[in-house]
Every structure is written in structure tokens, then in C-alpha cells.
A and B are shown apart, each in its own frame.
Chain A
Amino acid sequence: MRPIAVTDLSIGYGDRVIADGINFVLEKNDLAILIGPNGGGKTTLVKTILGIIPPLSGTVEVLGCTVKHVCPHRKRIGYVPQMGRVPEHFPATLLDVVLSGLFPYKERFDRIGKEEKELAMRALEEVGLVDKKDEPFGNLSGGQQKRGLVARALMGHPDALIFDEPTSGVDIAAASDFRKKIIELHNKEEIPILLVTHDINPYIDHLTKIIVIGRGRFRVGKLDILRDIDFLREIYGESIKVIEVEGKFYLLSGDFHNV
């Protein structure tokens, strides 16, 4: 059964269509990257896949179950949202946050048992944060918080992982560690990983799909998309430039900011 299958999907809010004709499948072992200009529909697409907002038309299937608000399989996706640093006074330890990854699978009054705490410790081991388990979550650095959220997403053995801008707000060294962790997860876990990021090059040797969305257009492919300058101009505007150097791609906008 395919972990995620998107068919003839139209996304948007109310009467406002952001993009339509969206078709793609994420298989086990896929490492896919979702790129596009700001406001182009990346986050809307992710929210539609997660069942947070309903599709305008078309379907999203997770493990063969059509995602609606009642579809239990929507919870089978481990999700790390784009979010700012959790403030210092937030009342939770790192372990509390990781264990909250089990809440979707628990009945309202079910207690969290010893085995589940051990599971959380293994998830923390996976991201190298076991020694920080009792630290207040708000005291951790931005990079550590992100890794904690990855450990949270790994609880309950998800059938897919989605990271929205995983390295935003993280310093250079932590971002580099974080990218390595994602590639490690991709090599180790047999589940698809979808990354929403403009940070293509660190993953380029491992990418199996590139999904581009923007200005109502959509396309899925591989590195060939990055060489299709006409298509990228339709998405990003006329000023887009792509420079390919030793297998790495640098997308530059008219003002030469890296996009």
C-alpha cells in the first residue's frame, strides 16, 4: 500500500484556489523535496495532506485511506511543523514533548506506561538528546528543540515524515547536523520523507523526487526540473536564474538572493 498518494488534488481556502491538478505518490524510501515561492502553496499542500484543511477537490490517501478529518491514518504521518523557538517558560520537559507524540494514539484517559517511556528514550537516542530528557523544553537551543520534535515525530512508528522548513531558525552548525540526521533517517527507516525547504543541495545525492508548486502550477520530477528554466520562470518569475556547479544547483532570484 502506498504511504501517500495525491490524486487530482485542488488546494486552497474557500473559493480561493491556490493550485490544482496536483498528482504525486510518495513511496517507501522516497526522499522528496517540496519547493516553490513564498505564498505558492507549499504549506497549504502539506496541511491538506495532513488533513488540517480539506481539499477543494481530488483526494489524498494515506495508506489507502482517504484523508478526511475522521481518517485515522492521517495520524500515521510524523510531522515537524515550521515553528519558532518555544519560549523558556513553556511548562514541559523534553521528555514530555517527545511523549506527546503518542497522544494521537491514546484514548483520553490512557496512561503513558513504562514501555512507552522507553520508546521515547530510544527516539531521543536517535536524535542524540538522551542526556537532555529532563531539561525544560524552552531551555533547549533552537536546534535541540527541532531534534526533540523529530524524536516526537518518530514516536508511534510513523508511516511517513513531513518536515516544514526543518532548518529555519537554526544556526549553521545545528542545521548541518540536522540535515545529516534527516539523511540518516532516510537511509535507515523505510518510510517516505517529504521536506519543505529551499535548502536543496545538502540532500541532492539522496533525493528521489522534487515537487515544485507556485503560481497555480505544479510539477513533480527529479533534477531535470531544476534544469527546466522556462518552467522555473513560470513558477518564480522571469528573474530566476539557475547555476549548476559540480552537481549542485543554485537558484538565484533577480536580486541574487539565494532562493
Chain B
Amino acid sequence: MFDYLALPEYQRALLAVLLSGILLPEIGVLMVLERFTFAGAGITHIAFSGVTLFLLLGINPLIGAITFAILAAFMMWHFVENRGVNLDASMGILFAFFMALAVMFMSVYRGYSGEALSYLFGSVLTVDTFDIVLLVIVFFMVQIFLLMFHRDIFLLLLNRELAEASGVNVRNIRLFLLILIAVVITISMKVMGALLVIGMAVMPAVSSMKIGRSFLTVIVFSALIGIAVSLLGFVVSLLLNTPPSATIVIVTFFIFVFVMSLKRN
């Protein structure tokens, strides 16, 4: 197994798995508490339509995924904050529209369909240096966001009006939050796959809420659980020769079931 880790693609894969393993649970805590889970799941599919368009145009598909995801996050925020549309309904509308675009793009060139589909299930061994650089940049962005705004976010999660009365710019915080969720989910797509990425965001988050008592400890626990399950899942996938993303999600699920069986003291 350790022979594999001498290979650069495996080293990049391990680094990518660890970075996603920290980022996704951290952002997952905010998604669960602010009820953005469905929004997050929808964004993965919207990002997929960006993948298909940019493959069609011959540009790095990850750039397309990020562009579409940020665009969708902004549109969702606009519908909710400025037009009074329910968040779930907004996501339903955007999800359907962008998936329709994805189908259209895929129908034009059948040749690359296989490559596009690899974004749906993850392809961690194809992670390149550019992907790693993006993951590192986003990693620091998220940590800075959490350090700077954790009090504002805490008040928002407690009660929106309470936050507004305390001087928090709730609209801006929610926009930043949606954009960060979009970016984290999208850059993790190649690692975990669009269909599996949401599990890695939500399961460690919910597990950490079971054992952590304060907001910041829950964020830290979620990242620690993320690191543990990513490493464990990655090693198991090497030992059993199974797909890494699916293995990590299955391991995360068992950890989630174990934590849920614990009694809260």
C-alpha cells in the first residue's frame, strides 16, 4: 500500500481527500444549521452543467463548475432575499433549469460524456496540481471566513431577527455563505463526485453536533471527523481496491451511525 503513496498522483489524491475532508464537514455544519442542505445538493448538479459546457468549449471543466455554482448561489440568494421565493423552491427551479442545460450540452457531443460522468462519481486519482492549488486557496478562504464571521454566523443561526438587531448584515453573510458552499462543494466534486459530495458535508457535521457543545467545537470536531474518515476511507480503498470516494462515504456513514448511537451526556 505504501508503494502507492510514493506515486505523485496518489500523494495529490491523499492531499485532496484530506483538504476536502476538512472543508466539506466545516461548511456542512453551516449547511445543516441554516437549512441549506438541499441547496448544497442542488448546487452539485448545477456545477455539473458547468462541467459539461466547459468540456464542450474545451476549457478546464472545474472552472465551468465553479462559475455555474457561484452563479446559481447568487441567483438563489437573489430569489430568496429580494423576491421572497422560498429557498427550496428556488433550488428546485434552478436545479431543473441547469440540469436541462447539462442534458442539452451533453447531447451535442457524445464523445466526452464519459469524462463528464466522472465528475458525478469522483475521480480522485486524476486530481492535478491546479486542483490542489484551488483546494488550498479555498481552504484558507473558509478558515478566514469562519474566524472573522463566526459570531455573526452564530447569531444568524440562532435567529435572523436577533442577528439583524445586533447589527449583523444578514443578507451579505447569507450571500457569502451560499457562495462558499457552492465553491467548496464544486472543488470537491472531482475528489468525491457530485453525487457523493453532499454525504461528506452532512454526515460529519451531524455527527459533530451530537458530541460538540459549542459552535466552534462543533466546527473543529466536524473537521477532525472529516480528516479521520477521509484517511480511513482512502486507506481502505487502497487495501480493497475500491473507488476512494464511495469508500470514504461508506466509512463516514458507519461513523455517523456509531456516533448517533452514543448517548448525549
Interfacial residues, chain A to chain B (CB-CB below 8 A)? 47, 50-52, 74-75, 77, 79, 81, 83, 86, 89-93, 96-97, 100, 103-104, 106, 108-109, 134, 136, 149
Contact = CB atoms under 8 A, between A and B. Distances in A.
Contact of A104 (B29, B148, B161, B167): B167
A109 to B, nearest CB: 8
Contacts of A106: 151
A93 B151 CA distance: 15
17 contacts: A52-B165, A74-B167, A75-B165, A75-B166, A79-B162, A81-B161, A83-B161, A89-B210, A90-B158, A91-B209, A91-B214, A91-B217, A92-B215, A93-B214, A100-B155, A100-B158, A103-B151
A134 B214 CA distance: 10
Given A104-B166, A136-B213, 6 more contacts: A47-B164, A74-B167, A79-B162, A81-B159, A91-B209, A96-B154
B157 interface: yes
A50 B164 contact: yes
Q: How large is the interface on B (under 10, 10 to 19, 20 to 34, 35 or more residues)?
A: 20 to 34
B33 A90 contact: yes
What are the 7 closest A-B residue pairs judged by CB atoms, nearest first? Answer: A91-B218, A81-B161, A52-B164, A104-B166, A79-B165, A50-B165, A103-B151
A92 B158 contact: yes
Nearest to A86: B158
A120 to B, nearest CB: 14
A23 B261 CA distance: 57
A96 B209 CA distance: 15
A89 B165 contact: no
A149 B161 CA distance: 13
A79 B160 CA distance: 12
B243 interface: no
Contact of B215 (A47, A81, A91, A108): A91
Interface centre among B33, B161, B212, B217 (most CB of A within 10 A): B161
A86 B160 CA distance: 12
B211 to A, nearest CB: 10
Contacts of B159: 81, 83, 86
Contact of A100 (B148, B154, B210): B154
A149 B159 CA distance: 11
Contact of B213 (A77, A83, A93, A109): A93
B164 A89 contact: no
Contacts of A74: 165, 167
Contacts of B213: 91-93, 134, 136
A86 B33 CA distance: 11
Nearest to A49: B165
Contacts of B151: 100, 103, 106, 108
A50 B168 CA distance: 12
B110 to A, nearest CB: 46
Contacts of B147: 109
